[in-house]
Amino acid sequence: MANRLMGKTAIVTGAGSGIGRAIALRFAAEGATVLASDVTEGVEAIARESELIFPFRCDVSSDSDVAALEAEAQSRFGGLDILVNNAGIGGASDTPLHEYPIEVFDKVHSVNLRGAFLVLQAGLRLMLASGGGSVVNTASTGGFRATPGSSGYIISKGGMVMMTRQAGYEYAARGIRVNAIAPGTIRTPILDSAPDEVVARLESRSPEGRLGTADEVANLALFLASDEATHIIGQCYVIDGGRTAG
């Protein structure tokens, strides 16, 4: 089925690479006009791939940047139909919780949780003004499953899961659906420089024996954003090749 988002307007944060890039391109291919935001130059490059994608530099940890993103959407669209709240960073790894640097913890949460909250607030205001919409947050399997040494990231994604439930419950009666996707390890450019043995180890964790692709995650985001998912609210959908099934 094509053109599932024809005539819709969307914001996708973290659209410069990886999952966000795949979602922005897929939404545009389905007919949506996309305001693609990121802190990297990649957001300029993606805009050259579709006439329906418009780049916007935004650091979601900055109150003023998010306010500017909201103002741009209001000016360009007059409201908003879809928000993909995807921007995020990883933080420290292999660091025990009692040794985790608080400055790294704060930075991760300034993007993954506080920043996501600011973007969600902006999206909700735009949707309330235009009569409803659909939000897709990017959580993680880490929001459900502890990973030793990565407490900053894991705790932030746990917060994203609860933020999704809270907003879904709070705004359902006002015509706004809020859901989340929870990817496992996905094959994105961040792994391009990883040693073969590291990639093989990551692949071995999945009973499917491979890593997911950004396009597969985009398929799930598309479904949740579309009118095919009209009775799905406050839910978080895991896409990890079955890793967390056992």
Q: Which residues does the annotation mark as catalytic? A: 153
Tokens standing for residue 114? 């506080």
Of 158, 146, 175, the closest CA to residue 236 belongs to: 158
Q: Running DSSP on this structure, what letter comes out for residue 208?
A: T
Residue 102's CB: how many other CB atoms inside 10 A?
8
Cα 236 to Cα 230: distance, rounded to the nearest angstrom: 15
Query: What is the chain's alpha carbon radius of gyration, rounded to the nearest angstrom?
Result: 17
Residues contacting 91, CB < 8 A, separation 6+: 104, 105, 107, 108, 150, 152, 153, 156
